[in-house]
Amino acid sequence: MQSLGRHVLAELYGCKFEVLNDINRVEDIMVNAALEAGAEIREFVFHKFSPQGVSGVVVISESHLAIHTWPELGYAAVDVFTCGEKVDPWDACKYLESMFGANQMKASEVKRGIIALEDQRLVVNY
């Protein structure tokens, strides 16, 4: 069985308020996380909420990185989805944990697009 991609869902706790609430810093950290993982960036968009919080996505050739922050709670929800063998989503997550100053990261990986070849037919398992 082979998968098309790896999707890491990460929860970062104890992050610095001033970092999570700064759209420019969040954008810079997310873009650099993609580069740290070896991804090729296509485009990115981020939005600052009032009174606080940032959401954004970095589109990469290999899929995407996305974030939503709750600065008042020191919390960020992140997902890093990569396809192919070249990019390691865990490298991006470790970078994010460090740069956001998290004191804890809970993360899990889901294999996406599990494909089996049976009788020369392509079968996708859901």
Q: Of 122 and 59, which is predicted with more confidence?
A: 59
Residue range 112-121, pLDDT digits in tens:
998 875 544 5
Say whether domain 5-124 belongs to CATH 3.60.90.10. yes
DSSP three-state, residue 102: coil
Residue 37, C-beta contacts closer than 8 angstroms, at least 6 positions apart: 80, 82, 87, 88, 89, 91, 92, 95
Of the ranges 33-42, 50-59, 67-76, 108-117, which one carries the lowest mean pLDDT score?
108-117
Q: Of 86 and 120, which is predicted with more confidence?
A: 86
Tell me if residue 83 is catalytic. Answer: yes
Residue in 55, 61, 64, 83 annotated catalytic? 83
pLDDT exceeds 70 at position 41 = yes
Residue in 55, 61, 64, 68 annotated catalytic? 68
Residue in 55, 63, 64, 108 annotated catalytic? 63
